[in-house]
Amino acid sequence: MAALADTNAYRLLDDEAGGLTLDRYATDWVLSLLVAVDPRDARQAAAAVQLGTRVAAHLGERLQARSVFLKVRPRQANTLVDAKLAGLTPPRPVFGQAPTTPLTIRENAVQFGVRLDDGLGTGLYLDQRDNRRWLRDNARGLRVLNTFAYTCGFSVAAAVGGARLTVSIDAAQAALTQARANFALNGLDDAKQHDLIRGDVLAWLPKMARRGDQFDIVVLDPPSYAQVDGVRFQAARDYPQLLATALAVLAPGGRVLACINHAGVDARRFDQLLSDGVRLARRTVRSARAMPQPVDFPAGRMKAVLLEFA
C-alpha cells in the first residue's frame, strides 16, 4: 500500500458485515469478531471467545505476529454493553507475547500510543487516518478546537502540522492522560499551546462562546450515544444542535470537520442533519465536501464532511 508509507497501523481485513475485522498496530494485531452474543450469558460469551482464539491462532502464525488480541463485539449496536466486564475482550493476547503497553505506532510519520489490552477501544480510530492527515496539512498557523477529543489524534496531527493553538475537550481523564503522552511522543510539550480540558463538550461550547473564544477549525466527532452528568446525547438526534452550538465559536471563514460513525445514519441523512444545524445557527456555508474513506476501510461506516463557512 503505497499510500501507507510511514504508517504501521492499518486495517488488513474490513468485513464488518461478515463479522470479522483485523487491524495491525505495528508488530501486534487486533482481531474483532462481530457476533450476536448476549454478554449476560457466560456460556455464549465463552464460546465466542473460544472461536475467536482459534481464528487468531491461525492468523497469528501466518502474519508472524508478536501478538493477536481478540475483541468480541456484540452486535446490539444501540445497547451500551460493557464488553470488558463480560469477558469479551481478554486483557492478554490470545496468541503470542504481550507487548509493553502503551505500544507506539506510526501514522504518516506521527507517533501515537495505543493499548490493545483495555476493552474495545485501542486509543486510536484507524478510520480517521486520512482526516488526521488533512488536518495536519491544513492547520498551519490556525486555532483548532477538537471536541470529543479522546486521545487527541486530531489535535496531535494539527499540532505536528503547525497549529498555533489546539484546545481539546473530552470527558474521560484516561483518554486525556494518553493524549498528553501522544503530544510528548511527537516532541510537543507546550501545555499552554496545546490545552486539554476535561469536561462535557455540550457545557463547554456555550461557555467558550460566552467568553468570546474563536477557532479557525472545529472538529466534531461525537460518539453515537453517550451520557455525561446524566444528560443523554444521541448523534442521530442531537447533531444539528451540536453543530449550531459549535458554530458559535467558529471564526469567520472557519471550517468544521464534521464526522459521524453511526450505522443508522447514511451520507444523505448526515447531510440533512448538518443542514439543519447550519439553519439553526443562521450561518452561511460556502462549501461542503464529503471526505473520502481510507483505502483500508472500503465498507466506510464513518462519514466525514468538511464545511467551510462565510
Ligand X SMILES: C[S@@+](CC[C@H](N)C(=O)[O-])C[C@H]1O[C@@H](n2cnc3c(N)ncnc32)[C@H](O)[C@@H]1O
Q: Considering the rule CB under 6 A, would residue 145 count as an interface residue with ligand X?
A: no
The secondary element (H helix, E strand) that includes residue 33 is strand 28-35
Spatial CA neighbour of 217 closest among 123, 141, 111, 130: 141
Q: Considering the rule CB under 6 A, would residue 128 count as an interface residue with ligand X?
A: yes
Per-residue interface string for the shown chain with ligand X, residues 229-258, x marking contact by CB under 6 A: ----x-------------------------
Q: Considering the rule CB under 6 A, would residue 154 count as an interface residue with ligand X?
A: yes
Q: Considering the rule CB under 6 A, would residue 169 count as an interface residue with ligand X?
A: yes
Span near ligand X by CB under 6 A; candidates 41-49, 52-60, 180-188, 198-206: 198-206
Least distance (Å) between residue 245 CB and ligand X: 11
Nearer to ligand X, 148 or 270 (CB): 148
Among 69, 125, 215, 297, contact with ligand X (rule: CB under 6 A): 125
Among 221, 235, 262, 293, contact with ligand X (rule: CB under 6 A): 221
Secondary structure tally for the chain: helices H, strands E: 7, 16
Q: Which residue has the cell 487527541?
A: 152
Q: Considering the rule CB under 6 A, would residue 302 count as an interface residue with ligand X?
A: no
CA distance 96 to 79: 32
Least distance (Å) between residue 215 CB and ligand X: 16
Cell of 122: 485501542
Whether the Cβ atoms of residue 281 and residue 243 lie closer than 8 Å to each other:
yes
Nearer to ligand X, 29 or 148 (CB): 148
Instruction: Please name every residue paired with 288 in a beta bridge, in sequence order, or none if there are none.
Output: 307
Residue by residue, DSSP assigns 53-90 as HHHHHHHHHHHT-SEEEEEEEES-TTS---TTTTT-S-
Residues that bind ligand X (CB under 6 A): 125, 128, 148, 150-151, 153-154, 169-172, 175, 200-202, 221, 223, 226, 228, 233
